[in-house]
Structure 1
Amino acid sequence: MGEFIILKRTCLYFFVFFLVYSSVYGPRVEAWSKEGHAMTCKIAQNLLEPEAAHAVQMLLPDYVNGDLSALCVWPDQVRHWYTYRWTSPLHFIDTPDKACNFKYERDCYDTHGGKDMCVAGAIQNFTNQLSHYRHGTSDRRHNMTEALLFLAHFMGDIHQPMHVGFTSDEGGNTINLRWFRHKSNLHHVWDREIILTAAADYYGKDTSLLQQDIEGNFTDGIWTDDLSSWRDCDNMFTCVNKYAAESINIACKWGYKGVESGNTLSDDYFDSRLSLVMKRIAQGGVRLAMILNRIFGDGQQQEDLMAAT
């Protein structure tokens, strides 16, 4: 599998430019909303073992004070910059309409036929780049900070069901509808509408309280018995295929089901889908932590994880 090449730059210039750009141009098209990505990364960081937590802190710029979630939305911000335009197809997977399954060789390519150019390929490649962390920066193609941010972000993307959606509607982006009283589209409903509606209705618009509930569900709640299976991973290729397959299955059974352009989605749709959104955020965070703990932890665990990539 080919590796993506990351341009080398100084961290100071890179992150200062990012902050200026973000403040001027504002948010772009996102996967999980900034809230969803932040919760995924906070859940992951709370589960890091000491060695992995130290490595993550060392890779992050000083101004975020070791908070990975502060930069988890960065790949969405830069995907339309000329330098990073090549990363745009890495945020999603287009699958054949109504096939309701994912096949890596069939589905993981860009519009030019480039292999591995989808979110499943991206996770493998950036995991592989981070696996060189112990060897310093001898391979100058690899910017470890960027690799960390891309990996963290794409682990959120692959768990958002509509990011493994149908080709013809661009994962629900062209299915225009109303979410309660305002205009939206099916993709955006799963990206952000369900999260923000839950935060407003049940948590006083405080997503940190929503995050606490999500964490409580797997630490001492309804998903506790599932936690070990979420972390199960023989090698990255097998794992990303599983994550993508889970998402397209949910998209078919719950995302697209009963939805047509022009519909108004409200309480029935929200109530029946909220737990799925919460669970996918939880799984993304738990699995991101699992990957980072293996990359930055015991050498044998890292070797096992990278087998077959």
Structure 2
Amino acid sequence: MSSPSPLPPLSPPSCPGPRAPARRAFLLAALPARLVLCLAPVLLAGCWALANRPVAAQGAARLASADPGWLLAGAALTCLTWVAAACVRQGALPDRLPAGLLLASQFAAGAANHVLPGGLGAHAVTLRFLRTRGVPLDRATASIGLYSLARSAARTLVLLVFLAACPAHRRLGGLVPDGPVPVPAAAAAGGALAVAGVLLTVVRPVRRPVTGLVRAALRDARAVHGRPCRVAALWGGAAAMPLAQAGTLICVGASLGLGLPWEQVALAHLAAGTAAGAVPAPGGLAVDAALVWTLVSFGAVPAAAAATVIGYRVLTDWLPLLPGALTLSALIRAKAL
């Protein structure tokens, strides 16, 4: 009778390696930071509303007596600006992006613009969104540059069309400062370009990433302009954005009895936005001041012009601020940003 075969030796019980407790501790430590990151936009929105409560209360009181039909039309045009921004973002990149998430990211980017000036908040949110979609950093940065270039060029073309079609543009001459003010500005711009050229020529660690970024931008620009759908999204959306924003201002002015023709209100919006676009003021403060000044120069009553700008800012920025902050928090929580 054959003896039974020996049993295989028992393996020692598996125990979690030293990395498992360390990983759990890292996750527990990162949880409060992630919670703060998700709640930060909501807290910033609340602090901003508290700091600007007199202006917000005045704008709400003015809007309470406005024509609700015109205000509803202005709100619809405001929503179109986010759709146009999403079209420009998609048109600036050859890769296909999910339409729903892209639109949500542009809606959330509006809340981020109240924290960082000059559109940096929207660009930061978009850059993070593109990185989570797998777009390399150089190509994502290049798409933001193409987006900004298309917006500036399209806005300038629309402004030139209105300047040629509206005879009231002669009144804008009073808004140009007298004296040698443009000379120092041109000298500062030339000096900045000269310093940048020297840095790119001499400093190799700066030259290499910049040249790589330029190559990626040119490559993606050629790919985008080789596809008619991308060209239509890029340039059509870039032209639609200032027109939709000017349309919102026209609707608010009509609801409050501004008393100016629609083409003058649109020209005032385009001229004020172009003149104040270089001022790094968050929340559009410089644009608001220039817009009131431009409307008054066209013949509007100062009180009506101020009320129109306040109502415009309520529709475009203040009312979407809390929903945009909540959307931003939801996108962060869902790891879409």
Normalised by the length of structure 2, the TM-score is: 0.27
Higher relative CO (Cα under 8 Å, sequence separation at least 6) belongs to 2
Normalised by the length of structure 1, the TM-score is: 0.28
Higher helix share: 2
Higher strand share: 1
- Which structure's CA Rg is the greater one? 2
